[in-house]
Amino acid sequence: MFSGSIVAIITPFRNGQVDEEAYRELIEFQIENGTSAIVPCGTTGESATLSMEEHNRVIEICVDAVRKRVPVIAGTGGNSTWEAVELTRHAKEVGADASLSVTPYYNKPTQEGLYQHFKTIAKEVSFPIVLYNVPGRTSVNMLPDTVARLAQLEEIVAIKEASGSITQMTEIVVKCRDSIALLSGDDGITLPLLSIGGKGVISVVANIAPKQSAEYVGAFLEGRHEQAREMFLNLFPLCQAMFIETNPLPVKTALALMGKIQEEFRLPMCEMAPASKTKLESVLREYGLI
């Protein structure tokens, strides 16, 4: 259902509020440069610092700005199942095309708990769901057997895999085959993931280099593997730079340096350390982005 370079778009702030004008301009920048779909309110969108009202509004703005030109996969996850249900229901009502639903964080549910969590969301809101596994942030790893169980539900259409384990991702492909789409949750391992049958990436680096990200993923999916490999290797240092400090600090700082947003975060996220920012600026200059 979903493939290509999908951006996990940042949420710009100005004077403590969501900067709607800048947000709409970022969405246009993405669509103009070949992004396949847009994910508002993901990790990169600082969803954990948004109020429920802000969260819903950011999704509404995205849907309105996109105007069905590409799919909108709204971040609607939560560590409370019923909060996730409420967010997912709202996303469906305002016209999003699917939801991105992260494994519940902090609670550390069992594999059965994970299954019941996502099954409940699917039962309560008949809507396409992209699972999101990112154990480095949530302290729980959704295992391939659980993914395979969930893949039997009609609403589960894809998984964003950010465990960092190609072995685990390969096991998902073996167990699920084409019943769901495997998407990379880490720019740095997207090409290896594509090589085992992945369909694309939900990307951080696409925020600042959407054309380059779309081109190498598209090249691979079209069978131009050697060209895709070279393009990926050329982009790789920029991918690494997006994690000099915790995401989304580098990517939002980069967009500010590019003149696209104000350099503003929500606590506990804060400005980058001077040495890290200097290193980031150097990489951005090498790529001609500033």
**Are the CB atoms for 163 and 141 separated by under 8 Å?**
yes
List the one residue out of 271, 194, 282, 182 whose CA is nearest residue 240. 282
Catalytic residue list contains 160? yes
Cα separations in angstroms, 215 against 30, 110, 228, 243: 13, 39, 8, 22
Amino acid at 202: I
Q: Return d(Cα 11, Cα 43) in angstroms, integer.
A: 10
Q: Return d(Cα 242, Cα 219) in angstroms, integer.
A: 23
Q: Which residues contact 85 (CB under 8 A, 6 or more apart)?
A: 120, 121, 124, 125
Active-site option among 92, 160, 252, 277: 160
Instruction: Say how far residue 28 (Cα) sits from the centre of its chain.
Output: 17
Catalytic residue list contains 216? no
Dihedral sign for Cα atoms in the order 127, 141, 192, 241: positive
Distance between first and last Cα of the chain: 35
Q: Phi first, then psi: give them for residue 126, nearest 5 degrees.
A: -70, 100
Token duo for residue 80: 């409370």
What 8-state DSSP symbol labels residue 72?
B
Active-site option among 23, 92, 115, 132: 132
Q: Return d(Cα 77, Cα 41) in angstroms, integer.
A: 9
Q: How many CB atoms lie within 10 A of CB 222?
A: 10
* Residue positions annotated with a catalytic role: 132, 160
